[in-house]
Structure 1
């Protein structure tokens, strides 16, 4: 039985099949192959075969290994012989392998590239190398211990390490099962410590299951139908919580940026502090850190003592609507080229892996993350995959060669992180996440906005000085409540607590007692308790009795007794306060420092401007320029038109090789060299009616080759008939890199 060569088979395929091949195996198109021989060489290379196998499911990969069991990499085999090894129809899998040219030929003469064995599995289907002389070997006289050894090796892998292989003994002197099998010739000694079970013996031991355990269909996935609206609203709530935590992180790091470790990343102490400040566990805090850096909201200051500092991009993010905040963070997670799941583990040197550490970099992480989400997106809306391990098993069956040693853990991490980011909820993909995957962050933000409950315009004030927001507050109301009260707990309803310190904070920002009374009277659906009224009035009586300005700074007060009290306090010495009038004190220190010192001493001063109005001196937080995303944009896949053009270039290369006998023809010596020589050659070919092999660069920067019969050469353009397609084409002369006359063409 003989078959066509790979190059011949490729040459016989139509353009549609070759475009599909280049689409499925994009590495074949870079750089553009000159002709079919070059394409065939790439198709059969070990690296390309290995890449092409990454997306094969378990059954298709097993069919490819079965072809290797039949030595299809050495001689053509029949599809019927492959089919006989399975208890299911494998034609669909074979056709897929043929479409990717991992197999070529007709059903009666299937071949696979010689490099496939090394690229896929040196021991296909767990079987060893062939020893033809052992075909039909008699295994009836073996002892039970020898059968156990053969059974273990037949299950795969077919090689084993043993000291019993060190010495060759006769059957009479053999003591161990390994020695007996070696003496019988049923095992092959590969070296002093390695034995191998020949393929023929492995097949005989397996009997009616020659390929061993073959999973011909993907494992079951337990699912649960939930209401899509419930899933989306739950995810929306998680999105708001994510936004709140990131806002708190930016606020904390604006005031106290953590140091960048010498090895990169954030230290354990800083991570624990952040987790405590945000009231979250360290795993969530670490994920937040990774997100804000990849979203360009925080970056390394790269100074003499580098710190992780919020960037200028943080302010637009803080000012954005909740849905746009979430879309930015969700896209940053989707594109994150790192594995946050490794944080807290130790590397091969037993060093702890910290957030933002370089060891977490994994360029393939976005692709693997999308693969998990796309598997969930294939389920009906609202359908939950309740067991992450089952989902990992399904994805492992669909692409067993993807993911490496962390393959199953990547699935679990994606589910866990996706839930924290609000992409998943109740184990199902949210509608906004589906939109994010297919349309991008803008439409996803709009979809989330539809899922968010309408903002509420009221709060519920309790007698214990707590303020309950029964939902997402309107932005202006949320800002006012956050100014006068501190968040005590968050969730579907946010609970704030009003304290004397928070009321003073509102006064420092320019609010008056009347403003706060009006806020609570107008926005509370419950009666305002007297305790809150007293708290506001009492804080107002104390607040601002002292007035500070810049001297460095000054303090003034209408009450000379209070001025005398301040001047006599120990804090006055530290702040170098000096009385310049019965009601005025001055200090060389900045006003903010003087006010903080007096507040720590129990006074309640306020800052004032030139017009006497209260000033808000709260620090805006540090900012540095953004550093951009930590990723390279994914290359845009070529269009079908571009791939079609590449296929036509390959055909032209074949035509050129045929008409020139496979060799390029140099420019005639009397024509010189360089652009002028090329122009002269083309003009001569046009006069003589000769075909010319032209190399050129198209408008996309892609090198190509055509056989052209020149008609007009001039005005910076070559116009002629493309011999391969019979079409008239025009080529700018400056894009032509070389030209050669085609041998054998009549003048």
Structure 2
């Protein structure tokens, strides 16, 4: 056939009405933008399907073969369905290729949409990829995970001591990043790669909700979630970081490329917002998963130049070829973003040695579980079994250093950090002893005997004589008056149970240590200690046997003995430790990015299209011909309501209108504020209150609803 006609609303409405349920479901899956909001009837479905916006969305997501056929039809070239059966069937399912009076017909708006659209690759990529040893991939993945967890922990510790100041224009500037880098590394003049690394960690921590700006000062500091993150298992800690990365509407998070001439930039700025970033990350991992067989295969190579900007040849291989074939227009537009996203996935252990790791495959499985409304558990379960056990031992060397034999337990790492300065970072750090570090330990409550006992218990060899001499010198030059701090204590006469409590990771992360006799102390508050005991499976009670109260007053000093224990002393009895479960894993999976304006999960059109229940309800609404399925029935009301928050605030700022704002507090309670929004920047809203002549800063991601205040009737 030659020549191509066009069709309009009448023809497309009739076509949709003639489709059976399978055909309508296929149309909605191919064009998920039609699901949000749900179409009310066939006419509204057809009107939106032939709109220029919807057609542009479709063209962006066509594979190269289908795009070639569509462009040929648009040029009026002869058409034969047998020449490209799969591409023709795809266009028919999408409702853009109909037969009108025996001729192939395209939407009337299509010629305008296809103007200046380049063609994709001429041929699909060749199947097959070079196999990679599974052990190498998994070792590289687990090593990257352990190193990242250690780096984030170090950053949070630094920000606890000195939060990051923000610029007046929003974000954290280069001077502040260099200060944080110096505090982390000890270098007075950190190099640009180190500063860029700090920026990446700051962005990732903010994406995971581990840091946020203080409402009063605006400084970025660790959140309450960060305190829980420190005490959580490594599998849950990485799960939180991965979920934050997947959901963050910011890209790229990596602020510096691998080349020396890369430009550093401030972090946490509004300019890094990118709405399609979550979809791009999802597509990157799903494409890698589709190319991976039973065993890992080399999907890509990164050939970084040493002294030049990365060129087109930097990122190559089957992964990029498949991305370019599946979505030629989208890949061409986002290729510069895909490159740093691959690097980010490597840092998270999802890609390693050019292949998809088991952790990366588990992330894709968890995404499918979330889309189906089920709790994610694949990544958490994999990491819990795959990560090597924590160690308690170090190599003490005659050069006054201690080298860890693996990833140290939180308690051992904390104690060693009090005695020595961390000299190297990563999951297997090196600590250096000095007279200054040992004097600091003595002033904080360590005794010479306690230092020697700890090092003897945790060293694989005898204590070197230079270190023993250094301890003696530190004792001679340190005042004999010792002091310390204790926020809560435990009195337990059973030495075996005391030892078991000290060995609990949940408790050692709070700094729990043996003071004397039957007394254990920690720097955390009594409430924090009680929460940690519950998570560790330990019951608490008063000395008289009554259950401990819900709130415990923080003690200012520990009792001298068991007989002098006051009512705030807590007795412990062992209980069964709860195991891991999908519910526990789900607790460490973010439901929304902190960068979003509403603390609910954003439901993308692609997620809706993967949910069979959503498709079934949309079909019911279309067949009924009524007012259509309500958004709330599709489970997307929170996402759409959240999408209106920023728009409503911007309109209120522009028109100086009074609004009523509902926001969620840190404890989950809701608060209402009424006033006129005056500015919005860096994730914060400035509100001039109606009932008092003052302004305050509100965190936008805690705002759950915004409505204009109705004017009072005369």
Q: TM-score, with normalisation over the residues of structure 2? A: 0.62
Aligned to 1:19: 25
Residues 396 and 461 in structure 2, CA contact (< 8 A), matched pair in contact too:
yes
Distance 1:302 1:517, change over 3 A: same
Q: What SS does the aligned partner of 1:455 have? A: coil
| Residue equivalent to 1:571 | none
| Alignment equivalent of 1:95, drawn from 79, 89, 110 | 89
1:401 is the counterpart of 2:329:
yes
CA distance in 2, matches of 1:502, 1:302: 35
Q: CA deviation at 1:431?
A: 0.9
Residue in structure 2 matched with residue 634 of structure 1 by the alignment: 602
State whether residues 79 and 108 of structure 1, in contact with CA within 8 Å, keep that contact through their aligned partners in structure 2.
no
Equivalent of residue 364 in structure 1, options 264, 276, 280: 276
Question: 1:223, 1:386 within 8 Å by CA — same for their partners in 2?
Answer: no
Structure-1 separation of matches of 2:602 and 2:101:
39
In structure 2, relative to structure 1, the CA distance for the partners of 1:62 and 1:476 (3 Å cut) is same
Q: CA offsets, 1:495-547, max 9 Å, x none?
A: 22111222223323322111111122222222211221122222223334246
Which residue in 2 is equivalent to 1:130?
Answer: none
Select the residue among 374, 383, 398 that pairs with 1:448: 383
Are positions 1:437 and 2:364 aligned together? Answer: yes
Residue range with higher mean Cα deviation, 249-258 or 270-279: 270-279
In the other structure, the counterpart of 2:215 is 302
In the other structure, the counterpart of 1:218 is 124
Displacement after TM superposition at 1:108 (Å)? 5.0
Which SS does the other structure have where 1:401 is aligned?
A: helix
The CA deviation at 1:361 is: 0.1
TM-score, length-scaled by structure 1: 0.59
SS of 1:79 mapped into structure 2: coil
Structure-1 separation of matches of 2:622 and 2:48? 13
Q: Is the 8 A contact 1:336 1:365 kept in 2?
A: yes
Output aligned runs, 1:678-717, within 5 Å. none
Select 2:399's aligned residue among 464, 471, 475: 464
**Inter-partner Cα distance in structure 2 for 1:342 and 1:435:** 23
What displacement does 1:233 show?
2.3
Aligned to 2:548: none
**Aligned counterpart, 1:720:** none
Aligned partner of 1:235 in structure 2 is 141
Q: CA deviation digits over 1:404-430, x for unaligned, max 9?
A: 64x111221111111222222222222
Question: Are 1:503 and 2:438 counterparts?
Answer: yes
**1:586-605 matched pairs, under 5 angstroms:** none
How many positions carry a matched residue from both structures? 485
Given the alignment of the two structures, is residue 248 of structure 1 paired with residue 154 of structure 2, yes or no?
yes
Query: How far apart are the structure 2 equivalents of 1:214 and 1:697?
Result: 37
Please tell me whether the aligned partners of residues 212 and 223 of structure 2 are also in contact (alpha carbons under 8 angstroms).
Answer: yes
Distance 1:409 1:392 in 2: 12
2:173 matches 1:267: yes
**Is the 2:97–2:105 Cα contact (8 Å) retained in structure 1?**
yes
1:344, distance to aligned residue in structure 2 (A): 6.4
Residues 458, 368 of structure 1: alpha-carbon distance in 2 compared, 3 angstrom cutoff = same
Structure 1 pair 237–509 and aligned structure 2 pair: CA distance change class (3 A): farther
SS of the aligned residue for 1:262 comes to: coil
Show the counterpart of 1:721. none
* Paired position in structure 1 for 2:103: 109
**Residue aligning to 2:241:** 329
2:205 paired with 1:292: yes
Are 1:67 and 2:38 counterparts? no
Change (3 A) 1:492 1:38: closer
Pick aligned residue for 1:424 from 348, 351, 359: 351
Is this contact kept in 1: 2:298–2:353, CA < 8 A? yes
On the 8 A contact 2:120/2:329 being kept in 1, the answer is no
Give, in angstroms, the shift of residue 367 of structure 1: 0.6
In structure 1, distance between residues paired with 2:413 and 2:471: 19
Larger radius of gyration: 1
1:643 match: 615
- Please give the alpha-carbon distance, in whole angstroms, between the structure 2 residues aligned to 1:43 and 1:695: 18
**Cα gap change, 1:505 to 1:443, in 2 (>3 Å):** farther
Q: Any conservation in 2 of the 1:507–1:543 contact (CA below 8 Å)?
A: yes
Structure-2 change in CA distance of 1:646 and 1:628 (3 Å): closer
2:44 paired residue number:
38
Tell whether the 8 Å contact from 2:621 to 2:629 is kept in structure 1 after alignment: no
Instruction: Tell me which of 375, 398, 408 is aligned to 1:473.
Output: 408
Q: 1:385 aligns to what?
A: 299
For 2:417 and 2:410, locate their aligned partners in 1 and report how far apart those are by CA, in whole Å: 10
For residue 532 of structure 2, what is the aligned residue in structure 1?
none
Following the alignment from structure 2 to structure 1, what is the Cα–Cα distance between the partners of residues 458 and 620? Answer: 72
Aligned to 2:422: 487
Distance 1:342 1:490 in 2: 19
Q: Deviations over 1:23-64 (max 9, x none)?
A: 222333444444433332222111111112222111101101
Counterparts of 1:221 and 1:271, CA distance in 2: 45
Task: Write out per-residue CA displacement over residues 224-279 of structure 1, whole angstroms, 9 at most, x where no aligned residue.
Answer: 42222321222212112111211221122222222111111111111123334434
**C-alpha displacement of 1:220:** 5.0
Distance 1:236 1:214, change over 3 A: closer
Identify the residue that residue 115 of structure 2 maps to in structure 1.
122
- Answer whether contact 1:484 1:506 (CA < 8 A) is retained: yes
- Does the 8 A contact of 1:392 with 1:412 survive in 2? no
1:117 Cα deviation after fit: 1.2
CA distance in 1, matches of 2:300, 2:617: 47
